[in-house]
Chains A and B, each alone.
Chain A
Amino acid sequence: MRFIDSTDFEKLLKKLSAEGELFVPVKEEDTGKLHMRRVESFPLPDGTVFDGFRAVETLKGFAQHLRFEVAQYPSEEKDELKPEDSFPGYVIVGAKGCDLKAMELVDSVQAEGDYIDPFYKIRRDRMLVIASDCSECSESCFCNLTGSNPWPEKGYDLAIAKVASGFLVEEGSERGAGIIEENGGLFSEVREGLEKTRDENRKKVLSQLKANNKSYPESAEVTEPLRKMLNDEIWTEEASRCVECGACTNICPTCYCFLLFDQKDGEQYKRIMSWDSCQVSGYSRMAGMGTPRPRLSDRVKHRFYHKYDYLPLSHNAVFCTGCGRCIDACSASIDMREVFSKVVTKATR
């Protein structure tokens, strides 16, 4: 572990910005929310915040773009792909524990298995992640219930924790270790007591999370009760509030669903990949025979089951890391934690 002073950290970022597009969390004045902003010149924008809690934007959005071209056909290049020619890479600062874990989950879908999404993989491989400790949590944060912690545990190149006039820095990959080594002059020994300060901060945030979420069930205790609730009226009740906007899935760091569609472009054709949401009715509509989830309640239910029942079976993990974005985004105030409290209470009654 090393220490870096705030001004030296900015110098480091300036240097790293040569390795790809640099994004940092910046606090929006009127809402107080953090947004990931591209930094094209220095000094860093006013309101840059490296602690706090997660930004509105997810890490997923960097690896899987909202809408982009995946093929042009017919083409001489055929099915060989060289997007690395045009893509410079990313340097992303301030990713939180919940987002690192979410990225790992989406990786297991898009970048592993018999088929690999090359666009996703290339962006992931060229993503330098400098993660950071949370210094606070929001009302909607519940990472502690999903088996993670409000600090970076894995899935980063460098992890920083704000202490005194700078940051404690840990390496999490070869690339991260290389950065510390190459820029040795910017780093110093960790003064006595700083690690303890960091650990106390961590403890403070974790106990706040525990206090906020004390009445809600842990994720690991949700799956079994959920399986008993397939035909319960709870889903019609939740659906009666849902306005079917798809905000919850779009903002989710682990939702990875997309749609492919084709367009004419002069003499060529383009294939476009676009995020899609299982909450909207056209999502699985089929030729001639409607859709397997005709009612809104079927679709509302599907989001919970996919994350907490199906993916644990197919990918060995609950696909929710407790970032709470869906809770903030929902205009009907559907709170996943409340839903699961009801599920657990009803199923065990």
Chain B
Amino acid sequence: MKNPYYPIDTILEDVISETPTIKTFCLKPAKPIKFKAGQFMQLTVPGVGEAPFTPSSDPNIEEKMEISILKTGKVTDALHELKPGAVVGLRGPFGKGYPLEKLAGKDVLVVGGGVGLAPMRSLLYALFNDPSKYKKIEIKFGAREPAELSFRRQYKEWEGLASNISLKTTIDVAHPDWDGHVGLVTTLLDDLDVSVPESYALSCGPEIMLKFVTLKLLEVGFTPPQIYLSMNRKMSCGMGKCGRCNVGHYYLCVDGPDMCYDKIKDVPNVFG
């Protein structure tokens, strides 16, 4: 019988610094792992424990996987100490992943903030696989300061991929190294170039950001079924068995982590 608690041996091949607190870990698992954009993995640091992360790499690549991780506690601190060659473990993928089939033929609005850009990158890779399938791909990224915008080296390339792709960035407060837009990521939603009734919005970031992004989207005319949010809860098993990741009657690890806002809008304190 398969043991779903066993972490597959995985070699850490490379570590890329994205921001002062986020690193991308390039991993090679002992056997290929097939995942859909938005599904997540449980990543083990031997002896320390495991934590859930959504890959930031192209879902079409199975032999290798990249995960971009914010240093914030026990497991992530230990991860940030690791050097190439180290052995870690992977379980998964878990969860449903983004509803790509629904996005075909629509305007797709991607809103990411802080470490939330990481999961969004795998979604972007999936969309970029065939940009012509979507009417528009409009990307809005925000961070506290310029150094905290992950993947900046790739923005130009992404925008150049197809004429229906646009990418706008913002930082929270003015900074000497920045001549772009200043303000919270929600301010980028004031002048949208999408046709709202024909759009889906997908967002990932801190819950406080998700809350204000949702309010803004509703204000500009999105309806709850058009909004998908990557929710965050403590997780352990990843398979709907340990009980801890519930949002109302949903288990995020099984029914999410990307949840249609329509399903969770009535859950009290849904944004914590």
Please give, as numbers and ranges, the residues of chain A lying within 8 Å of B8 by CB-CB distance: 78-79
Q: Which residue of B lies closest to A113 (CB)?
A: B240
Q: Which residue of B lies closest to A257 (CB)?
A: B243
For this complex, into which size category does the number of interface residues on chain B fall? 35 or more
Q: Are B246 and A121 in contact (CB under 8 A)?
A: no
**Stretch from B43-51, B58-66, B178-186 contacting the other chain:** B43-51
The answer to whether the Cβ of B188 comes within 8 Å of any Cβ in the partner chain is no
**Stretch from B100-108, B124-132, B162-170, B248-256 contacting the other chain:** B248-256
User: Assuming the A-B contacts A288-B72, A314-B249, are A276 and B244 also in contact, with contact meaning beta carbons closer than 8 angstroms in the complex?
Assistant: yes
The answer to whether the Cβ of B265 comes within 8 Å of any Cβ in the partner chain is no
**Stretch from B138-146, B147-155, B192-200, B231-239 contacting the other chain:** B231-239
Question: Closest CB-CB distance, A205 to chain B, in whole Å?
Answer: 33
Give complex CA distance A114, B237 in Å. Answer: 13
Q: Are A258 and B237 in contact (CB under 8 A)?
A: yes
Give complex CA distance A290, B73 in Å. Answer: 12
User: Assuming the A-B contacts A260-B242, A262-B47, are A287 and B76 also in contact, with contact meaning beta carbons closer than 8 angstroms in the complex?
Assistant: yes
User: Assuming the A-B contacts A115-B241, A314-B250, are A284 and B233 also in contact, with contact meaning beta carbons closer than 8 angstroms in the complex?
Assistant: yes
Please give, as numbers and ranges, the residues of chain A lying within 8 Å of B247 by CB-CB distance: 292
The answer to whether the Cβ of A42 comes within 8 Å of any Cβ in the partner chain is no
The answer to whether the Cβ of B7 comes within 8 Å of any Cβ in the partner chain is yes
User: Assuming the A-B contacts A260-B236, A289-B207, are A78 and B6 also in contact, with contact meaning beta carbons closer than 8 angstroms in the complex?
Assistant: yes
Q: B-facing mask of A266-279, CB < 8 A → 1, else 0?
A: 00010101001010
Q: B-facing mask of A88-132, CB < 8 A → 1, else 0?
A: 000000000000000000000110011111100110000000000
Choose among A116, A260, A284, A289 the residue with the greatest number of B CB atoms under 10 Å from its CB: A260
Number of A-B contacts (CB under 8 A): 135
Give complex CA distance A262, B48 in Å. Answer: 6
Please give, as numbers and ranges, the residues of chain A lying within 8 Å of B206 by CB-CB distance: 289
Q: Are B89 and A73 in contact (CB under 8 A)?
A: yes
Q: Are B49 and A70 in contact (CB under 8 A)?
A: no
Choose among B72, B243, B248, B251 the residue with the greatest number of A CB atoms under 10 Å from its CB: B243
Choose among A122, A271, A311 the residue with the greatest number of B CB atoms under 10 Å from its CB: A271
User: Assuming the A-B contacts A79-B3, A79-B8, A288-B72, are A259 and B242 also in contact, with contact meaning beta carbons closer than 8 angstroms in the complex?
Assistant: yes
Question: Closest CB-CB distance, B240 to chain A, in whole Å?
Answer: 7
Q: Are A292 and B2 in contact (CB under 8 A)?
A: no
Of B4, B46, B241, B268, which one neighbours A256 at CB under 8 angstroms?
A: B241
Q: A-facing mask of B1-28, CB < 8 A → 1, else 0?
A: 1111111110000000000000000000
The answer to whether the Cβ of A331 comes within 8 Å of any Cβ in the partner chain is no
User: Assuming the A-B contacts A278-B243, A289-B207, are A70 and B5 also in contact, with contact meaning beta carbons closer than 8 angstroms in the complex?
Assistant: yes
The answer to whether the Cβ of B176 comes within 8 Å of any Cβ in the partner chain is no
Please give, as numbers and ranges, the residues of chain B lying within 8 Å of A196 by CB-CB distance: none
Please give, as numbers and ranges, the residues of chain A lying within 8 Å of B89 by CB-CB distance: 73-74
Please give, as numbers and ranges, the residues of chain B lying within 8 Å of A311 by CB-CB distance: 249
The answer to whether the Cβ of B87 comes within 8 Å of any Cβ in the partner chain is yes
Q: Are B73 and A288 in contact (CB under 8 A)?
A: yes
Please provide the chain B residues from 213 to 244 with a CB less than 8 Å away from any CB of chain A in the complex. 232-234, 236-237, 239-244
The residues of A with any CB-CB pair to B shorter than 8 Å are 70-71, 73-75, 78-82, 109-110, 113-118, 121-122, 230-231, 256-264, 269, 271, 273, 276, 278, 283-292, 306, 309-311, 313-314
Some 27 contacts from A to B, beta carbons below 8 A apart, are: A70-B3, A70-B6, A73-B7, A74-B46, A74-B87, A79-B4, A79-B6, A80-B2, A81-B6, A113-B240, A114-B239, A115-B239, A116-B4, A256-B241, A258-B243, A259-B244, A261-B49, A262-B46, A264-B47, A271-B7, A273-B5, A283-B234, A283-B244, A291-B234, A306-B243, A311-B249, A314-B251
9 tightest Cβ-Cβ pairs between the two chains A and B: A257-B243, A310-B249, A115-B239, A79-B6, A81-B3, A313-B249, A70-B5, A118-B1, A264-B47
- Beyond the given A257-B244, A278-B244, A286-B232, please list 4 additional residue pairs across the A-B interface where CB-CB is below 8 A: A71-B3, A74-B89, A81-B3, A264-B47
The residues of B with any CB-CB pair to A shorter than 8 Å are 1-9, 30, 44, 46-51, 72-73, 76, 87, 89, 206-207, 232-234, 236-237, 239-251, 254, 268-269, 272
